[in-house]
Amino acid sequence: MKENSKELIKVNKISTGIWKLTFGSPEKITPVGLRNSQYLIANIEKLICEDIIPIDKEDIKFKITNRGSIVELPLRDNEKIYGFGLQLKSFIQNGKKKNLRMNSDPVADTGDSHAPVPFYVTNSGYGILVDTSRYLTYYCGTHSKVSEFNEDVEKRSDTIAGNTTDLYAIKETNKQMNMVIEIPSVQGVDIYIFEGPSMKNAVQRYNLFSGGGCVPPLWGLGIWYRIFGNSNSEDAIKLTDLMRETKIPCDVFGFEPGWHSHSYSCSYKWDKTRFKNSQVMLDELNRMEYKVNLWEHVFVHPTSDIYEKMKKYSGDYEVWDGLVPDFSIAEARNIFSEYHKKEFVEKGVLGFKLDECDSSDYCPVPWSFPDYSSFPSGIDGEQMHSLLGVLYQQTILKAFEDKNIRTYSQVRSSHALAAPMPFVLYSDLYDHKDFIKGVVNMGFTGLLWSPEVRQCESTEDLIRRIQTVVFSPQALINCWMIKNPPWFQVDCDKNNRDEYMEGYEKVEEIIRKYFRIRMSLIPYLYSGFVKYHEEGIPPFRALVMDYPEDKNTFAIDDEYLMGDSILVAPLVAGENSRKVYLPEGNWYDFWTNAKIKGEAFYEIKAELDIIPLFIKEGTILPLAEPVDYITKDTVFKLNINCYGDKCEDFVLFEDDGYTYNFNEGDFNKIELSYNKDCGKSIKKVGEYSGTKYEIIDWIYIK
């Protein structure tokens, strides 16, 4: 066992406030090495910091064992740890052991995840990225070494637990505990440290290092609907017609596995029985301004046109009889990407749902490739499980980038450095509270997550879930199990027998209301994503990121900020009121405009058609007149809501909302200002010649 000799740790400065620490001999293929985006140095350097490495090198320990490598980092008193990607079962990570295995259906709080990201931040104002695709384990201040006997310790002997919850609960201790990170099978590793000064700044730096957050096309922020798995082209046209007729806003229309001539695994060709003339259908959907999204996974069936070409760039094991392409090899990416460009992007498809690129240890049958697989690049199955999601996203993204078209898509797996990817995560899990926790957690580590709505136990469950998903990165209704929209019938069997439930019109009306609110928020959300891109600020995030000094926010895992100004506090079925914490300053109830004093907890009542929403005092909130869908010509008619007497400027981002031209400077920034004394003002700067916004009115809320 080699331990901590000075030569084993090397420090390199990467950029302002970013350092790379090299321990031992790291593996060659890692997330940072495979990143295809350039990190945004100029933007990073705009962030102010002390530019002093926030952890004393002397306090860092490194060890190589039979099991792999161990890095030990100090933790400060009361330091709170957040992150590790899509964690649905926990928020503050202190005291927890997290084994970041890529997996679908993680049933416990073990660290297994669709998107286990080896990055964490703390409220001491720094972030740590471990650059590995191994299933590493974080011991977040869990254990203390054998020490001298201590009187304090002896005190905790008195109560006899009466149940297992008490028995195994976290016990407060005064002992010093470190963050210990164990990376299996390696002889060394690179670790990147991101300075703050605040936790939010550390996250910004990480996101900019990743390449900056994605900017979805405008339509991506509208309503998404995925159709019943067994549908054919007539069903699709019938349903899309219905949506337009019933004035239910809908932008994206998604097909599930049944569109393939073969799945599972995938042929990537239209099924000729269900879709006799797919191009006619696609053209018709495009004419109706639907953006078509196609389900697929990465496993290439022998009947696929790319099977033979892909064989030599694939792993040695099959999944559902299909190949597993090694997308760490450029040729494999090109074959896949070119095929998708020619067969789908050029024919009018605007996005994909990239399913099952995670893993399957929690499934009764492990359908995914084994961890011991070998891939032509030399990486093994464990590494590929971690990397596949991001590599797959990069591969699909290229098919769109080549055509200068933006996509906004779905993916079931992600990992480190994913902020630039315009892909939103989802899961087969379905607990509503867990889904809300997903929205709260994802902002720490450069992910986007949709608490998608599928089957519902009741109309109450449906409405509460719709309320959550409408205030998330992707307002997605996934009806792969039901023939009719759930607002007509929540019972799946009845739905599939076309039996509408009694009083469905009322439900439909509430759903429509929420979809319209979503549509009205698109300009606001879009600006939030531009901040994600330029400054690395996550568009959805936990309260503690904006209020790191406020202890009351530390554990709040069921409220979140959407953009800088809207606080969302969803309810789940069975609740008609909930506790809401409002941080310092004043807040306005979105529904009543009532002004509420912050830095306080409130019990908020909310009838079924209300989700508690609060607007920060000083906000300029542009709300659009809702449209049913976005076209290239859509001009948002804006009501500019000013909350309070003295508002922060709000910057609308204006571009075509569709291409990457904004990267070449083809955009405008429209700065909206208001304060009681000076009045309102609009300042437009930029080179984009089109018009996306028309201001109808200014509204002043006191």
| Binding residues for a second copy restricted to 89-128, rule: CB under 8 A | 90, 95-97, 99, 107-110
Count the residues of the shown chain that bind a second copy, applying the rule CB under 8 A: 80
Q: Which residue of 31, 68, 85, 626 would you call a contact of a second copy, by CB under 8 A?
A: 68
74 in contact with a second copy (CB under 8 A): no
**Window 538-567: residues binding a second copy (CB under 8 A):** none
Q: Segment near a second copy (CB under 8 A), from 11-19, 121-129, 196-204, 254-262?
A: 254-262
Q: Segment near a second copy (CB under 8 A), from 4-12, 61-69, 612-620, 660-668?
A: 61-69
600 in contact with a second copy (CB under 8 A): no
Q: Which residue of 212, 315, 536, 622 would you call a contact of a second copy, by CB under 8 A?
A: 315
- Say how far apart CA 222 and CA 361 lie, in whole Å: 34
The per-residue DSSP string of 635-673 comes to -EEEEEEEESSB---EEEEES-SSSSGGGGT--EEEEEE
Please, what is the minimum distance in Å from the beta carbon of residue 591 to a second copy? 36
Helix (H, G, I), strand (E, B) or coil at 185: coil
Which residue lies nearer to a second copy by CB, 137 or 278?
137
Which residue lies nearer to a second copy by CB, 95 or 422?
95
- Say how far apart CA 30 and CA 35 lie, in whole Å: 9
- Amino acid symbol at 206: Y
Question: Which residues is 566 bridged to in the sheet?
Answer: 562, 615
Question: Which residues is 552 bridged to in the sheet?
Answer: none
609 in contact with a second copy (CB under 8 A): no
Please, what is the minimum distance in Å from the beta carbon of residue 229 to a second copy? 5
Site string for a second copy, 7-26 (x = CB under 8 A): --------------------
Nearest in space to 81 (alpha carbons), one of 453, 542, 573: 542
Nearest in space to 322 (alpha carbons), one of 303, 299, 305, 339: 299
DSSP 8-state code for residue 427: -
Site string for a second copy, 170-199 (x = CB under 8 A): xx--------x-x-xxx-------------
358 in contact with a second copy (CB under 8 A): no
Enumerate the H helices of 9-91 as residue ranges: 31-34, 41-46
311 in contact with a second copy (CB under 8 A): yes
Q: Segment near a second copy (CB under 8 A), from 9-17, 144-152, 407-415, 600-608?
A: 144-152
254 in contact with a second copy (CB under 8 A): no
Nearest in space to 246 (alpha carbons), one of 520, 505, 634: 505
Question: Which residues is 615 bridged to in the sheet?
Answer: 566, 588
Nearest in space to 169 (alpha carbons), one of 155, 180, 156: 156
- Say how far apart CA 619 and CA 674 lie, in whole Å: 9
Nearest in space to 1 (alpha carbons), one of 56, 67, 50, 49: 67
Please, what is the minimum distance in Å from the beta carbon of residue 432 to a second copy? 18
Site string for a second copy, 223-252 (x = CB under 8 A): ------xx----------------------
Distances (CA, A) of 382 to 102, 111, 387: 8, 15, 9
Q: Which residue of 372, 605, 683, 699 would you call a contact of a second copy, by CB under 8 A?
A: 372
3-state secondary structure 507-538: HHHHHHHHHHHHHHCHHHHHHHHHHHHHHCCC
Please, what is the minimum distance in Å from the beta carbon of residue 312 to a second copy? 10
Q: Segment near a second copy (CB under 8 A), from 142-150, 233-241, 564-572, 664-672?
A: 142-150
φ/ψ of 642, rounded to 5, equals -110, 120
**Window 270-309: residues binding a second copy (CB under 8 A):** 302-303, 307
Q: Segment near a second copy (CB under 8 A), from 16-24, 262-270, 411-419, 617-625?
A: 262-270
Distances (CA, A) of 639 to 417, 470, 514, 623, 699: 36, 20, 18, 5, 7
Helix (H, G, I), strand (E, B) or coil at 583: coil
348 in contact with a second copy (CB under 8 A): no
Residue identified by tokens 């028995």 is: 167
Q: Which residue of 211, 216, 220, 257 would you call a contact of a second copy, by CB under 8 A?
A: 257
Q: Segment near a second copy (CB under 8 A), from 120-128, 354-362, 525-533, 588-596?
A: 354-362
Which residue lies nearer to a second copy by CB, 555 or 682?
555
329 in contact with a second copy (CB under 8 A): no
Q: Which residue of 481, 573, 635, 695 would you call a contact of a second copy, by CB under 8 A?
A: 481
